[in-house]
Each structure stands twice: as structure tokens, then as C-alpha cells.
Amino acid sequence: MKSGFEGMEENKQSVRASVSKFLETELLYEMLPNSGQVLVLEKGLCLLDVIELSLSHRQEAAIVWDPSTMDFIGVVTDRDMLNIIISQYNQDDMELEESQIVARLKNKTLESWRQENSQNGLLFVTPDDNLFIATKKLKENRLHRIPIIDQKENMVLGILSIEAVLRFFVENYVADSSLFDVSMQEFNIGTSGTIITAPSNYSLIQALGVMASHKLSSLPLLDDLGRVVGVVFLSDIPQIIRSGLYLNPQSEVLSVVEQVNENEDCGLSRFGILTSDDTLKSMIQKLAVSSERKIYRLVDGKLDMIITESDLFGYLMVE
């Protein structure tokens, strides 16, 4: 007779196999957006044009085009925008005038910036790939978005996001299993113990530097008692640029975060909260409706765990 632990482990494995099978049977044709508009940037554009075009089109990712090879060679995302801004400053140049920053951005092309920053080649999926392949690429390369390319036509059909995968999963996956009603305390999902944070009195450039060096999509800000009082999200970068806040790199990051959040709560309403009552099912539901697709577990106001879409699929997917 199997013990309760053995039965639970078998149940976990069966559900993980079921989720993987579901992802393997869903082709990316199902994920193509109704409007496949994608911003394409030539590699010879100056960085200022790259930023202005990305902001004006409100695109979360743009494709880089090489006219000499007639091919797509990369993607520009919010993370690249973050790195572009950071690259304009160094320890001796924190008091630059806006005109100086603009001049620097005008004098460097996207191609030269990509070369200096050792940008990798284009990672993409095709419409014939399945969701398992796409999610695995996103997860293993720590990406939030990946282009769907029709190689025969050499055409970008759309951008697939990990958020879209989660949304599709929540709306379409059906399983006859009681595992999803099991307490989250039974699962080892998420990051705890080694969570990267920053003091709330850090400067903007210090906080952005931490995010860039660790490739973070969010950076919790802590007060003197270690409590979370704000969060910088990667998705804040366009607004930080648009509002001109990046021109004051030494300003306190918590003040910047307060300004970019409309309700002035410093980003605290943009993640879900994990409680002791949560099951796997309720956690997934909270993750799906969270504006930043993140779940925090707080103990006396202190951050104890973070769960992201990548954590969830990393647990549910089996080879």
C-alpha cells in the first residue's frame, strides 16, 4: 500500500505529464494575435530613433532588421531600453544635461550598440512549433517575449509572450485531477532565500544597475526594517524614459517608482499575494490576473518568496 507521500508524488508527476502533453499538442497558430502588427527597426538607426519609435508605437518588443542580409537579426525589448539608458552614464558622468544624453544617443547606432554589448543572434519560434517548445525557449533563455517567424515567407507573424502562454493555459487547460486543490505548501515552486532586493534609498541608476546585472524583471525595494515598500518593474522603463526621469539618475528610486505608478502606491498593487490558504489552483489564478504576473509571499511585511510564470512552467513541464 502506498503512503500518502508516495501517492502525492505520483499525482504530481501525472499532472506535470498532463500539462506537458497539453502544451505539446497546442500549435502556435492558435496563439497568433488578431493584429500581427510588429515594429521593425533597421540596425542602422541611431539609439535615439530606436527609443522614440519604440515609445511612440507602444511596442513591448521590436524586431531588428539587417537590410544587407535581408534578414531579422535580433529583438529590442524593455530590457534593452534599460541597458541603453544605463550605458549613457558612468561614475564621472552623473550630471549630464539632456542635450548631452540626446547627442550620445544620436551618435550611436543600434548595430554598434548591439556589437558592444555582445547581443546574441535572434531566438525565435515558428507557427508550426508547439507551446511546449516555445515555453521552454522562453524559460531557458530567461525571455518574456519571442517572435513567431514564418521562415518560408521571412515574415514576423507576431510576438509571443510568457503572459500569453499563461493566459492560454488558464483558459484552455482542463484536467481531471485533485492536485490543483492541494495547498501550495506541498509544492516547491518559486524563489526564496536568495531573493535580490535593494534599499529604498538607492539612487535610480543604482537600482537599474542591479536589475541589469542580474537580468531581473522586478526589484523589490526595502525599508530599514527589511519590509517591502516599493517595486521597480522592467515594464516601468518606458515610462521612466518617456517622463524624463532617467535624466536624474541620482534621484531616489522610491520617489521615481511613486511617480510612475498612477495610484502612487510604488507598485505594491501590481503583484499578487500568496497566503497560507492558497492552493496551486488559486495561486495560478492570482498569477494570471496580477498585472505583472508575479506572486509575493510576505511575512510581517518582509519578502519571503517570489513566484513567476517561468517558475510555474518550470515546475509543471517535464521533458
CB 69 within 8 A of CB 44: no
User: What does the pLDDT look like over 208-238, one tens digit per residue?
Assistant: 999 999 999 999 999 999 999 999 999 999 9
282 by Cβ neighbours in 10 Å (0-12 / 13-18 / 19+) ranks as middle
The full set of domains in the chain, from first to last, is: 30-172 (3.10.580.10), 179-316 (3.10.580.10)
User: What does the pLDDT look like over 248-273, one tens digit per residue?
Assistant: 888 999 999 999 997 778 998 999 99
* Of residues 275, 197, 62, 141, the one with CA closest to residue 285: 275
pLDDT higher than 60, residue 199? yes
User: What local confidence, expressed as pLDDT, does residue 72 receive?
Assistant: 94
How does residue 1 score in pLDDT terms, banded at 50, 70 and 90? very low
Please tell me the distance from the alpha carbon of residue 59 to that of residue 53, in angstroms, as a whole number.
Answer: 9
User: What does the pLDDT look like over 43-77, one tens digit per residue?
Assistant: 999 999 999 999 988 877 899 999 999 999 999 99
Per DSSP, the three-state class of 85 is helix
pTM of the model: 0.88
pLDDT higher than 70, residue 294? yes
Please tell me the distance from the alpha carbon of residue 125 to that of residue 298, in angstroms, as a whole number.
Answer: 37
